[in-house]
Amino acid sequence: MTKRLHFRPFSFIVLLLVVLITFAVVVLSPAQAEPTSVGQLANDSGTLGSTFDEFSGRRTLAVRLDFDPTESPLRIDSVDVYLEPQDGSNSNFPIFVRIEKPANNAPSGILEFTKTFRLQIDQAGWYSIPINHTYGSGGSSFIVSLKSWGVPTRPAPLVGLDDSTNIPARYNYYGDNFNAWQEHYLFWDEPETAGNLMVRASISTGDDALYTPTPTATATNTPTLTRTPTPTFTPTPTITPSQTLTHTPTLTLTPTPTATLTPTITPTPLPEGVIVELGASADTYVVQGLPNSNFGHNAELLVGADDENGVYQILTGGYLLDGLPADADVQSAELALYIDDITVDETVTIYAHRLLDPWVESKATYANVESIMAESYGAFSVGADTEVGTWIALDVTDLVRGWLAGTWPEYGIGLRTTSTGSGPQLLSFAPHEELYLGPRLRLNYHTSIPLYLPLQIR
């Protein structure tokens, strides 16, 4: 008997619907984006072989990293560097990073990205510096260059070198202030035994490189490798048996205590007049022991003294007082400074001085501004117990009044201490490049000109 396949009408309709839906999903659906493509570009093996101990002063390091030019666009998500703190290292370590287009496989100074970061370095390991920059110079490689901006009197962290030997040429470079680059085989006395700089880049390619990543909420960088604490277990609560009924004692009336009136807190009123803050647009510091060196682009402002380099002095200015009303009557003026670091073992007093001559941030050195400071105004004392991450303020009311009256030119404010050495007595303040933390003038003034707020007309 021949067997025939019988279709029930209902089953046939269900089968037809399944086929149509499958066809619509597979054929008619829009093309899906490629999955996230995240990788890491590295020359090193990942195994620590030794460390580089001269990442301080003006020393700069650079690595060339190659990528597949067909995987475009390419976004550099972060630069990762292996660092190890030394005894006495600045744990809040400033570092300057640049992304460059290479020329002949070497650093060229053709910049794609620059920024200063502070890394919290408390143990040896990988530290990640967020970049989030889409590389647009083409080619098949880019240069990552790094500069240490730590306190000169403190040892910089060690930089990892991997365990490789006889490494390929033209991938690792050592320079001075992003110049005078020396290739690995010209820098080391025994280059065959020195490994690759452990500096990498995490990247995204393809469609994923076009999306802006969600920024990390953490303000400071932390090591990539972190220890996970052992979880603490909460004990299971014990069930308490119901209480046994007992005789209720006779209620004894206790006299109500006399109520004590809570004192009224009177808020401190704001001073009358207009209050403004004007940020500096230029600042630098100069060093007696380095009389011809300029520190205008360093990530800190140092004042004080040490045995090695002598006196450190700060210059700050460019407060743009032209925006004040012509009849502004200054009631008070303070120079506010944000403390980044303190290296003192005794009380150090900082003095604010009027400046006699103009100066340029990128050209000022101790040799050409040594005699620029005139009389002093406000002062502030800082000790070893002063907290890092706080503001100090120096009274410069009379100085600012003189500027506005035309008594003397507005060349800025100089800062120095009476310390001359006897161990490091240094204070580090945030420069104007650090948003919201740079030097600023806090002014309170009276004016006859009404203050109007702009209206938005729709």
Tell me the residue type at 141.
Answer: S
For the cut 90, the answer to whether the pLDDT of residue 22 exceeds it is no
pLDDT at 385: 87
> Please, what are the domains in the chain?
37-210 (2.60.120), 274-446 (2.60.120)
Per-residue pLDDT at 30 exceeds 70: no
pLDDT of residue 436: 80
Three-state SS annotation for 114-178: EEEEEEECCCCEEEEEEEEEEECCCCCEEEEEEEECCCCCCCCCEEEEECCCCCCCCCEEEEECC
The 3-class SS string of the chain reads CCCCCCCCHHHHHHHHHHHHHHHHHHHHCCCCCCCCEEEEECCCCCCEEEEECCCCCCEEEEEEEECCCCCCCEEEEEEEEEEECCCCCCCEEEEEEEEEEEECCEEEEEEEEEEEEEEECCCCEEEEEEEEEEECCCCCEEEEEEEECCCCCCCCCEEEEECCCCCCCCCEEEEECCEEEEEHHHHCCCHHHCCCECEEEEEEEHHHHHCCCCCCCCCCECECCCCCCCCCCCCCCCCCCCCCCCCCCCCCCCCCCCCCCCCCCCCCCCCCCEEEEEECCEEEEEECCCCCCCCCCCCCEEEEEECCCEEEEEEEECCCHHHCCCCCEEEEEEEEEEEEEEECCCCEEEEEEEECCCCCCCCCCHHHHCCCEEEEEEEEEECCCCCCCCEEEEECHHHHHHHHHCCCCCCCEEEEECCCCCCCEEEEECCCCCCCCCCEEEEEEECCCCCCCCCCCC
CA 213 – CA 216 distance, rounded (Å) = 9
How do residues 384-399 score in pLDDT, each as one tens digit?
A: 889 888 999 999 999 9
Rounded (10°) CA dihedral 104, 109, 113, 114: 140
The region of weakest confidence among 190-204, 213-227, 332-346, 351-365 is 213-227
Q: pLDDT-based confidence at 267, cuts 50/70/90?
A: low
Structure tokens at 195: 């490994």
What whole-number distance in Å separates Cα of residue 444 and Cα of residue 397?
10
pLDDT-wise least confident of 73-77, 195-199, 216-220? 216-220
pLDDT the model gives residue 110: 87
Summarised one tens digit per residue, pLDDT across range 401-432 is 999 999 999 999 999 998 765 678 899 999 98
What is the per-residue pLDDT for 38?
63
pTM above 0.85, yes or no: no
pLDDT value at position 25? Answer: 38
